[in-house]
Structure 1
Amino acid sequence: MDKRSKIALYAIGVVIVLIMIAEITKPKALNWRDSYSASDKIPLGCYVVFNELESFSNQPVTTSTTNSFESLKTLADASKTTSVFINNFVSFDKQSSEALLKYVENGNTVFISTNYFYGILSDTLNIKVGTDANGLYKKPSLNSFTSPYLKKYEKRFTDVIENSYFIKIETINAVALGTIKIDKGDKTINDTIPDTNINYIKMPYGTKNGAFYIHTNPFAFSNYHMLNDKEDYAATVLSYLPKQPIIWDNYYKSGRKIITSPLRFVLQNQALKWAFYIALLTFVLFVIFKGKRTQRIIPVVEPLKNATLDFTKTIGDLYYQHGDFTNIIKNKIQYFLEQIRSKYYLNTNELSESFITKLAIKSSNKKEDTKALINFIVYLKSKSNHTENDLIQLNNLIEKFTKQTS
């Protein structure tokens, strides 16, 4: 790894570390997302009210994480319970609406607190919820109860509020329990909405004392208002409900946890998020030190080819293919005698008996074998034409001689 690559790796590592430090040390922004989830401690979560429900009702509180059709079909008809739905909007499909109607018809209770209520259940109960849309800003409002004995529990909401109320009610069955009075200040010309409207009703349903309690201020049950002197109002709203086991809905929530990717799941879990950051930092350090300590790859150098040997082999094959045994034998004899001259320092002009004796001694060969080779060379040199057998016999004698000397 060259110097420029190392500098680039170090720079990337430093940037990643600085980003992680900045991410860890920066103050968390306050999350104002609509949630109403029992596990969320953000301002618009319902962590506080959910944990107070059991002490409020003196009955067990269970959580539903499926739609109403799935959660209610498993309940025994004999058990009387109250299902609580709190969200900024509530809308049930056909199956869930029919399940809730049957559930209340069997003597159970449904409490709904929402700004926007629509769908099949709303149409069946013949009610409609609207909001105050006059003006750019949300106006303060006084949330009260119709009972004069509960006047001390009314509360004025000045912020984090949407002023919703009923604009259509089935007056034959509905019982008004609470009202909202919007502080409009200077009225606009086209403003025909009354200052005071109903925002909490009871809708009896069936013949077994079942009822729907519908409230239009879910903000009252958020952590923000529960911890800012509005808990008495929320408790009074819930006090109308019968004292029986509560089923808290955690499915029809704007803040319902939906994991859309593995990375989102990891980053939403505090322990897994730190494990991911540590693994990322470890990987960066590994790349830096691995790049520093690893030796550059040594290129493979191919050995030089023996071109002389290839050339000799090619020439020999050429002679052999053309059947020119005489030239091959002549060259082979010349090459052999040259080796004798260079290795044993003997004169090869006269291949006499004295030469044979000296060659046998210096080459450590038997005199008979040496004599047979030299006599056959003399014989071949005397011939003008040679055969393949002559070449084979010469080659065998030379190989036998050279094996003994090696």
Structure 2
Amino acid sequence: MKLTTNLFKFPVFILMVFQLTSCKKTNWNENYREKEKSPFGTYIVYNEAKTLFKNQEIVYLKQNIYDYLFDNYNTTSANFGTYICIKNNAFRLSKDGVKDLLSFVNDGNNAFISLNEFNDDLKEQLEFTTNNLDKNINNVKALKTLKGEYTLTHKDFDNEVFTLDRNSKRHYFISYNKNKTIVLGTTKIDEEKLPNFLKIYHGKGAIYVHSNPIAFTNYYLLKNKESYTEKVFSYLPNKTVFWDPHIKKSLYSNKKDEDNTSVFNYFLQHKTLTWFLIVSSAGILLFMLFNARRKQRAIPIIKPLENTTVAFTQTISSLYLKEEDHKNLADKKIAYFLEKTRTKYLLNTSNLNQKFIQVLASKSGNKIQNTKYLINTIITLNNKSECSKEELLVLHKMIEKFFNK
């Protein structure tokens, strides 16, 4: 293991300070892109690799690692180099890519991988499991509250504590094969130190896995935290460095694995997401099946025949009013009253005397005085040859009031 305390180049430092303090709105999203000068890009560590790895050749990969090894590597190459990948997840590392990378390590080479999400193939092959307590926290405001304390276990580092003031997810290794694994670093979670940096021996080589890539971003390399990055990389052997910016998909891997950028392939890399995809697809198919049956044709609305009785009555009444034949209308109102009395109360209306008035008042529930006044009005109008408009209105109101009792 080599120890180093290299400082980053001054021009790059000034450039990044200007970038982060400029008036332009700062992008606080975790992107881990080598070309990004935003806080959580990896522009500094990528461009300062030659300072971090002095006297070592740096190869910046322009193609997928699987394709690079396919074109340039053979098993007779001694100490070919160290592969480095710092990302949120290695989604461009297909099954073939994992297999070839581990074969590369098995031959006596090394790899350093720092991710927030390790794919299942890599975890299965290297026999480790992880837990991320903050995997569902994605918004900038919530991430800002996540603080962390990291330590490196080597005796030369004197248990120095490296503190991170934001975006430090509680991501750590739960289990690993203790026969071939060394814990190189820890993170403090609920007062307990849990491993976040492992060295896993694989064949003649070793692979270094780190669960907090945020520590290598621009933000922390400009906050006097560069010593943590330097000390982590000091564990790596002095070999050619192959830095993978993850910008290319494989051209040579199997067709079923080559397009790992698709949503379906990403889902299929995780068992829980795979089951979610299967259940969702089955639900959609069932919905389509039950809704594909022939539906009954819409029943046309048939409007009922219009009741023209009211309109006819209004027309006739308007005709009478226009002619001002109030006597004729009064006679019809009286005839209507007497007919309804005979039908409803079963009374003989041929003799409208005092006895008739008493019986009618009793059966209808009207006061005898009001009933008497109505019958006397009817008798009076029957005996008159003329009827005024006012008398007609009085008769109409009396009859309406009588039947509404």
TM-score, length of structure 2 as denominator length: 0.50
Task: Indicate the structure (1 or 2) with the bigger Cα radius of gyration.
Answer: 1
TM-score, length of structure 1 as denominator length: 0.50
